[in-house]
Amino acid sequence: MARRLREISLPALAAALVAGLVLVPLGAVVIRAGGFSALRGADLAALRFTLWQAALSAALSCLLAMPVARALNRRRFAGRSVLISLMGAPFILPTIVAVIGLIAIFGRRGALNAGLEALGLPTLTIYGAHGVILAHVFFNLPLATRMILHGWQAIPAERMRLAASLGFGPAQVQRHLEWPMLRSVLPGTFLAIFLVCLTSFAVALTLGGGPRATTVELAIYQAFRFDFDLGRAASLALVQVFVCLAALAVASRLTAPPAFGAGLDRAPMRFGGGRALLVQDLLAIAGAAAFLLTPIGAIVARGLPALPDLSPAIWRACATSLGLAAASTLLTLALALPLSLAAPRHRWAEGAAMLPMVASSLVLGTGLFLIARPFVNPATLALPVTLLANAALSLPFVVRLLIPEVRVLQADYDRLAASLNLRGLARLRLLTLPRLARPLGFGAGLSAAFPMGDLGVITLFSDGETRTLPLALFQLMGAYRMDQAAAAACLLMTLTFALFWACDRIGHHADPR
C-alpha cells in the first residue's frame, strides 16, 4: 500500500498543480463576471463572428487539404518527405511572423497587389474577416493535410489489393475505400481546427479588428487594454470557456474510429490513375507548397538584410523570449512525464493533463490578473504568468504524444523491470527516459516553439518595458517600421525553428533504437 502511494504521489502533485493553475483563474473569472450582464451587443456580434470564422476556416482547411493529402499519398517523388516537413512549418511558426509573411504577399504593398497594379486591375486588402480566414487556413492547412494523410495511410494494403483484383478504377476506390475513410477522419479534423480558430488571438489582433471582424479573444483584450472593464472582460472569458467546452464535447462524440480492420503491414498499393489525375495531383501539391512556403520566403528575403540594424531593445526581448521558452519547456516536461506515466493506470491523470484545453491563454491571463491585482502590480508578474500559461497550454500536446509510447513501454518492459527490481530513479534513467526519448524530444520542441511565438498573456500584463520578441515585433508593426519588423520576424522564425529542430534531434540521438 505504501509503495502504491509513492507511485501516485508525484503524478497527483502534478495533477494538483495543473488543476490549480487552470481552475483557480477560471474561478476568479466566474466570480468577477457575476453572470453575463456586463456583455454588450457588440460582444454578441463578436461571438457570432468567432463561431462563423472558425467554422468557415475549418471547412476551407479540410476541403483544400483533401486533394493535397490524396496527392501526397498517391505519388512518390524525390524530396517528398522534405516537402511534407516544410509544409508543416506553419504549425510551429509564430503567429505574428506568419502574419508578416502574409502581409508581404497579400498586403496593400504586397507582391499580389503589385502584380494587380501592373495589370491595371483593382487591388485587394488583407485586413478584415477575409484576412482572418486566410491566415487561419494558412496555419491549419498543414495540420488538416497531415491528419487526412494519416487516414489514407491507415487504409490496409490488403484492401487496396482486393480492390485491384476486382478491377476497381480510381472512381470505385474513391467510393468504396476513400470516402468511408474520410467520413471517419474529417469530423475530428474539422473540430480540431475549429477549436484552434476559436482561441486565435494574434491573427484577429493584427488582421481583424473593427466591429465586423472582432473575435471573443480580441474583445477580451479590448475590454482590458482600452476600457479596463474587468467585469466585461471576465464575462467574455466565461463565454469563451463555455464555447470551448461545447466544442470539446462535440468533438468527443463525433470522432469515429476507422472501420477497415487490421492489415498485415505490407507495402501499400496505390492507384495512380492516368495523366489527368497526375496533372491534378501535381497542381494540388504545387499550389499548397506555393501558398504555404512563399510567405516564409518573403520574410527571409525582406528581413535578412535588415538584421544588423535591429536595436539593442530587440535583442533584449529576444533573450527574454529564449529564457521563457527554456523555462516553459522544463516545466512542461516536468508536469507531462509523471502524468503520462500514470495515465494508463489512472484516468484522472490524463483528465488533468487535458484540463488546460478548456481555456485559452487570454482566459487564464484574465483570471490571473484578477487574482494578482489586489495584492501586487500585475506588470511585475508579466514573465512568471506568461511562463505558467504557456506551460499549461503546451501540456495537452506533450501528454498526447507521450501516452501511446508509455502504454507500449509498460506493456513490453514492466515485467522485466519488476524481475530486475528496477524502480525509482534507476528505472527512470535506464529505461523510461531512453525509451521515451523521441516523443520527449518532439514534445520539448513544441513546448519551446509555442512560447517563443506567444502574443497572448504578455499583452495583458506588460507595461511596455517588459517585452518578449513577439510583443516587440507587434510594436514595430504598429509603428509602421516594417523593415525592422521583417528583420525581427526573421530572427523569431529562425530561433523558433532552431529550438524545435535541436530538441527533436536530441530526442532522436538519445533514443537507443
pLDDT tens, 361-391? 778 888 888 888 888 888 888 888 888 888 9
Query: What torsion do the CA atoms of 340, 341, 347, 350 make, to the nearest 10 degrees?
Result: -10
- Tell me which of 4-13, 159-168, 239-248, 478-487 is least confident: 159-168
Most distant CA pair in the chain: distance in Å?
80
Residue-level length of the chain: 513
d(CA 38, CA 233): 9
d(CA 413, CA 418): 9
Average pLDDT over residues 233-244: 81
For residue 337, give the amino acid letter: L
Q: What is the pTM of this model?
A: 0.78
Average pLDDT over residues 25-49: 77
> For residue 101, what are the contacts with CB-CB under 8 A and spacing of at least 6?
294, 295, 296, 298, 299, 489
Which pLDDT belongs to residue 265? 44
Is residue 38 pLDDT above 70, yes or no? no
Which of 60-74, 75-89, 112-126, 223-237 has the highest average model confidence (pLDDT)? Answer: 60-74
Short-list 155, 476, 501, CA closest to 306: 476
> For residue 464, what are the contacts with CB-CB under 8 A and spacing of at least 6?
none
d(CA 450, CA 496): 8
Which of left, alpha, beta for 273 (phi over 0: left; psi -120 to 50: alpha)? left
d(CA 80, CA 425): 42
Cβ density class 310-346: b for 16+ within 10 Å, e for less = beeebeebbebbbebbebbbebbbebbbbbbbbbbeb
Is residue 214 pLDDT above 60, yes or no? yes
For residue 267, give the amino acid letter: A
Is residue 262 pLDDT above 60, yes or no? no
Which of 290-299, 318-327, 393-402, 500-509 has the highest average model confidence (pLDDT)? Answer: 318-327
Q: Which residue has the higher pLDDT, 90 or 166?
A: 90
Q: Which residue has the higher pLDDT, 452 or 255?
A: 452
Instruction: Report residue 258 as a C-alpha cell.
Output: 476507422
Which pLDDT belongs to residue 251? 66
Q: If pLDDT is split at 50, 70 and 90, which confidence band does 325 have?
A: very high
Residue 280: CB atoms within 10 Å: 15
User: Would you call 47 helix, strand, or coil by DSSP?
Assistant: helix
d(CA 13, CA 342): 12
- The radius of gyration of the chain from alpha carbons, rounded to an integer in Å, stands at 24
Q: If pLDDT is split at 50, 70 and 90, which confidence band does 162 have?
A: low
The DSSP 8-state label assigned to residue 359 in this structure reads S
Topology classification of domain 43-260+292-300: MetI-like fold (1.10.3720)
Which pLDDT belongs to residue 326? 92
Short-list 244, 328, 442, 342, CA closest to 15: 342
Average pLDDT over residues 341-365: 82
d(CA 349, CA 117): 58
Average pLDDT over residues 456-472: 81
For residue 312, give the amino acid letter: P
| Angle value at C-alpha 264, between 188 and 407, nearest 5 degrees | 55
Q: Which residue has the higher pLDDT, 512 or 352?
A: 352
Q: If pLDDT is split at 50, 70 and 90, which confidence band does 263 have?
A: very low
Which pLDDT belongs to residue 1? 46
Average pLDDT over residues 123-151: 84
Is residue 158 pLDDT above 70, yes or no? no
Which pLDDT belongs to residue 156? 62
Where are the domains positioned within the chain?
8-37+307-513, 43-260+292-300
Is residue 416 pLDDT above 90, yes or no? no
Q: If pLDDT is split at 50, 70 and 90, which confidence band does 5 have?
A: very low
| Angle value at C-alpha 318, between 315 and 320, nearest 5 degrees | 115
Is residue 110 pLDDT above 60, yes or no? yes
Q: If pLDDT is split at 50, 70 and 90, which confidence band does 346 have?
A: confident
Q: If pLDDT is split at 50, 70 and 90, which confidence band does 2 have?
A: very low
Is residue 253 pLDDT above 70, yes or no? no
- Identical fold, 8-37+307-513 and 43-260+292-300: yes
Average pLDDT over residues 106-124: 82
d(CA 435, CA 382): 37
d(CA 212, CA 130): 11
- Tell me which of 225-234, 346-355, 370-379, 465-474 is least confident: 225-234
CATH of domain 8-37+307-513: 1.10.3720.10
- Tell me which of 7-21, 152-166, 222-236, 465-479 is least confident: 152-166
pLDDT > 90 in the chain, percent: 7
Q: If pLDDT is split at 50, 70 and 90, which confidence band does 260 have?
A: very low
Burial degree of 374 (CB within 10 A; 0-12, 13-18, 19+): exposed
Q: Which residue has the higher pLDDT, 166 or 512?
A: 512
Which of 22-26, 131-135, 224-228, 246-250 has the highest average model confidence (pLDDT)? Answer: 131-135
Which pLDDT belongs to residue 157? 60
Average pLDDT over residues 225-238: 77
For the chain, what is the mean pLDDT? Answer: 79
Which pLDDT belongs to residue 59? 93
Count the helices and strands in the chain (H runs, E runs).
Answer: 24, 0
Burial degree of 275 (CB within 10 A; 0-12, 13-18, 19+): exposed
pLDDT > 70 in the chain, percent: 84
Could you report the per-residue pLDDT of 52-67, keeping only the tens digit for each? 999 999 999 999 988 8
Q: If pLDDT is split at 50, 70 and 90, which confidence band does 274 have?
A: low
Cβ density class 425-450: b for 16+ within 10 Å, e for less = eebeeebbeebbbbbbbbbbbbbbbb
d(CA 314, CA 319): 9
Q: If pLDDT is split at 50, 70 and 90, which confidence band does 327 have?
A: very high
Which of 34-38, 155-159, 192-196, 325-329 has the highest average model confidence (pLDDT)? Answer: 325-329
Q: Which residue has the higher pLDDT, 307 or 511?
A: 307
